[in-house]
Structure formats: C-alpha cells, structure tokens
Amino acid sequence: MSFIREDDDPRNILLIVVAIVLLVAGLCSWGCGPLPPPASPPPPEPIAAWTATCTALWQEELGRAIDLGGLDGCFNQIRVGGTAETIRAWLREQPEWKTHQEELTKPPPPVARTRSRLHARVRALTYPDGERFAWRGVSFFRGIELIAAGREDEAHARLAWFAARGVTIVRVLAMARHLFTLTPADGLAALPQFLALADAEGLYVEVVIFADTKEYPTLDLYEHVKAVAPILAAHTNAVVEIVNEVGHPTQDARLTDPAELMSLRRLLAVDVPVALGSTHGSDDESTRLAGGDGDYVTVHLDRSRDRWNRERRVRELEALSAATGKFVVSDEPIGAGEVDSAGRRDAEPAVFWAQGALARVFGVGTTFHFEGGLQGEIPTGRQLVCFEAWRAGLDALPGDLEQRARFKNAGWADSPVKSADFTRLVRAYTADAGTEAYTILIGVSGDPNLTFRSDWEPVDWRRPFPAVWWVRSEWRIP
C-alpha cells in the first residue's frame, strides 16, 4: 500500500513529509528523550562467603561434605534471596535429611566384645596377633560416676551409641571433685561394673587414676593404686593413665615427679598398658614422662595458638613417638563446643576433620574432646557436627595406612610434595605409602600452588572444607 500516487503534485508530497516530521516530533514531546545510560555491571558475587555458608549447612544438616550439585543449588537459592535459615528449612524437607536423622537416632547394632588385652609395641598398641589397635577415643569423664550414682542404663546406652559409631576407647576419671564429685572409694567401687559394660560394647577404657588429688589430701597414693591394680588386671579392656595433667594446680605436688610415677606404675600388672601422665600446655613437647616404665605416652596439646598453627602441632607428637619409640596419643586437644571459646573450645567442624586425618598421617592416637564429654554425655548440636567431621577425617584415609606409610613433610628430599605456597596455607603433611601417598593441607586460604616431584602425580583432589584439602597422588616410573 502507498500513500503517494505517481500523479501527485510534488508540493503535496512535500507537505506530507513535513506533516510526518511534525507528527513524530509531537509524539517525542510526550515520550521520547535521550537514551538512558548503559546499566553498570552487577557487583561480583561473594563466592567464598557463599561456599563457606553452604558447606557448613550441608555438614550440619546432612552430615556430609557438599558436592558441586549442592553448591549450584545453594548458590541459586542465595541469588533469589535465600538465607541460611531458609536453605536450612529447605534441606530439612529433603529425603536425605530424614535418612541422616534416622541414622543418628536408630538403635545401635550389637557390637562384639573387645578382643583381648592390648600390648605396647614399637610406636603402636596392638592386639596379641600384632594387628595395630586403632585409637579412636572420646572424652567420657563422668562414665564411672554414672555407675556410682545408679545411672547404669544411661551409661550403657551412651557407651553403645559411641561403639556403634566407630569409637574404640573412652577416657574416664576414676576420681574427681571439680567437674563432679566422685570420691576415690566410690570410683573404686563402680570401676569393675563400668569396665564390664564397656567390654560388652566392644570398647576399651582409658582409666585415669588420679584427678583433683588436692581435694583429697588424706589419700594414700600407693594404697589407692594397689586397690585399683587387681581390678585393672581382671579386665582385659583396660589401659591406664596414672595422672591427668601432671603439674596441674589441682594435683598433689607429689605427682609431678617422674620417679614417683614410675614407682606407682610398678604396682600395676606388667601386661596392663600404662601412661605415666599427660603433659599439657607449653609442656606438650616434653619427654620427661615419655621414658622409663611407661608403655605409651599421652599429651594435651597447647591450645594457645591461632586455629591452624594450633592444629598443626600434632606433628610434634609424631616427632615424640619417633624419638621414644612409643605410641603417642593426642588425648585432650581443644574440644568441640557450641561456640568458639579461645583456648578451650572450637565450633569449626574443619578443625576436627583435620584432627582425625592428621592422626592417621602421623600414626598417633586421637581422642575427640568435647564439652558434653566432661559430663559423660553424647554429643549434640554443633558438638555432634564436629564429632561427625572427626569421624570423616579418620575415615578419609585407608584403614591399613599406618602399617605401610611413613610421614613426609613438604619440601623434604624424599617427599612426594616438592613445594607449596605457605603464604596461602599453614602446612601440607603427607603419608607416603610407597606407590601412593595422601597429603593433608590445613589452613588453606587461597591457591596453595602445590607442586609434586616429577615421579609423583596427583590423581584426586578433595576439599571437605574450604580450609582443609585432601590430595591422593601416585608414584610413576620416571
């Protein structure tokens, strides 16, 4: 269709063009204007913060590390306004959450009794056939007191709960006064029953004979050990720590002398594994309680440093074990709590994953310490999340690793790891098993630039937490 005919007067055509121009100008007076400036690009997304939030939610609600699909879904929810609480509520609607809750609360399956008395060997506690005992301990301080107070059913149920989750040994106080009251006499009376209950659940027991001894000034130390000795000899699931934290202000001054402790040890049966007492705090590298007649060594690592420099000190326990030829246990590291408390509690699950994994790399024992364990409880809330992370760290390495691997520090001439950027991580520790190796990185805050030697090739990288990485590498023929 055409508005202009061939025979139209040119002047009419001109008038039509002018009219169209005026019409357009009039319309623009109502709605036209300069083009808006180009939109500014959206601000960059805080991926690191989102990753930390999503990782924590998956661990807390589903009991596992988040995968790529989970991260993608979590990020999408945040982009449309989702908060930690709305994502948590969404997770609790998922079948996986319900399955995880059922796993946490279902009655534990029957567990076999303990196999036999443990024996002290070079840098290990073993069964009689030489198989290495896996020390996966928990603090259960009030366990004996629960028996003394007539709460046997509670004690038994809690022991069964731990046994069903792979714990192999519980640490208990045979006397106390500050956390709770358990007199030496009451502790002696309840000890046999507690050992029997633990044995029925397949659990070993580390019996701490002396705690809070200043509160019992009339206690005869030697007579008390003589009274404990036949009970321990009669129960093959017992090992002994004579003194909790040697030199602690709550302890009798006589218990600071290694010679005195060795005299007390000689009152116990020779086949009962005994640690003289735990060093602690700034004394955690001391060898003064690692010699003599002690069969294994317990240490309470210094908690005064920043998080990852504190956790890396389990390396010193490996050095202590190498120097003494004895099995060493990290028996009371910083404990899990509902919130952080400097020098006492940490609420970060990554810390406890690292405690479990590093104990495996270094071939030392590890005891999960936590606030509820002081009162003989099972972990709940954030402490349960940390407990599950500790278990995951222990299970992140092959079950037989300690029998075939040696520790190698990054940068050593024979280490699979040649170098790393230690401005972006705190430490990289490796268990070298000959044809394969496992490296644990802690305190990661950026690309660690991990470099392997030419005859080693990394084949699997995992990040269970942003600050903690796991790398498996294989040896290749040059």
| Highest mean pLDDT of the ranges 7-16, 58-67, 313-322 | 313-322
Q: What's the pLDDT band for 32 if we cut at 50, 70, 90?
A: low
423 within some domain: yes
Is the per-residue pLDDT at 28 higher than 60?
no
301 within some domain: yes
Q: Which of 403, 422, 437 is the last residue of a domain?
A: 403
Residues 69 and 203 in one domain: no
What pLDDT, on the 0 to 100 scale, is given for residue 102?
A: 84
What pLDDT, on the 0 to 100 scale, is given for residue 19?
A: 57
Residues 352 and 430 in one domain: no
Residues 325 and 357 in one domain: yes
Residues 87 and 194 in one domain: no
| CA–CA separation, 243 and 255 (whole Å) | 7
Is the per-residue pLDDT at 470 higher than 90?
yes
Q: Which residue has the higher pLDDT, 416 or 69?
A: 416
- HEC profile of 340-394: CECCCEECCHHHHHHHHHHHHHHCCEEEECEHHHHHCCCCCHHHHHHHHHHHHHH
Mean pLDDT, residues 71-86 taken together: 90
Is the per-residue pLDDT at 223 higher than 50?
yes
User: Judging by DSSP bridges, how do beta strands 365-368 and 327-330 pair with one another?
Assistant: parallel
Residue 160 CA to chain centroid, in angstroms?
A: 21
| Exposure of 55 in the CB half-sphere (CA atoms within 13 A) | 16
Is the per-residue pLDDT at 370 higher than 80?
yes
Asked if residue 124 lies in contact with residue 365, where contact means CB atoms within 8 angstroms, the answer is: no
3 within some domain: no
Asked if residue 426 lies in contact with residue 409, where contact means CB atoms within 8 angstroms, the answer is: no
Mean pLDDT, residues 274-288 taken together: 80
| CA–CA separation, 430 and 423 (whole Å) | 19
| pLDDT tens-digit map of 310-327 | 999 999 999 999 999 999
| CA–CA separation, 35 and 28 (whole Å) | 12
Q: Which of 105, 138, 153 is the last residue of a domain?
A: 105
Q: What's the pLDDT band for 111 if we cut at 50, 70, 90?
A: very low
| CA–CA separation, 364 and 321 (whole Å) | 8
467 within some domain: yes
281 within some domain: yes
Residue 209 CA to chain centroid, in angstroms?
A: 27
Beta bridge partners of 298: 329
Asked if residue 431 lies in contact with residue 425, where contact means CB atoms within 8 angstroms, the answer is: no
Asked if residue 272 lies in contact with residue 232, where contact means CB atoms within 8 angstroms, the answer is: yes
> What single letter denotes the amino acid at residue 87?
I
Residues 217 and 124 in one domain: yes
Residues 66 and 123 in one domain: no
Residues 395 and 438 in one domain: no
Residues 95 and 127 in one domain: no
Domain count, the chain: 3
Residues 179 and 76 in one domain: no
Q: What percent of the chain lies above the pLDDT cut of 90?
A: 76
Residues 325 and 176 in one domain: yes
Asked if residue 105 lies in contact with residue 111, where contact means CB atoms within 8 angstroms, the answer is: no
| pLDDT tens-digit map of 406-451 | 999 999 999 999 999 999 999 999 999 999 999 999 999 999 999 9
Q: Which of 352, 377, 403 is the last residue of a domain?
A: 403
| CA–CA separation, 260 and 360 (whole Å) | 33
What pLDDT, on the 0 to 100 scale, is given for residue 48?
A: 85
113 within some domain: no
What pLDDT, on the 0 to 100 scale, is given for residue 12?
A: 59
What pLDDT, on the 0 to 100 scale, is given for residue 201?
A: 96
| pLDDT tens-digit map of 139-185 | 999 999 999 999 999 999 999 999 999 999 999 999 999 999 999 99
Is the per-residue pLDDT at 2 higher than 80?
no
What pLDDT, on the 0 to 100 scale, is given for residue 245?
A: 83
| Exposure of 442 in the CB half-sphere (CA atoms within 13 A) | 26
**Residue 205 structural domain:** 119-403
Residues 90 and 206 in one domain: no
Residues 359 and 464 in one domain: no
Is the per-residue pLDDT at 6 higher than 60?
no
Domain of 267, CATH number, reads 3.20.20.80
111 within some domain: no
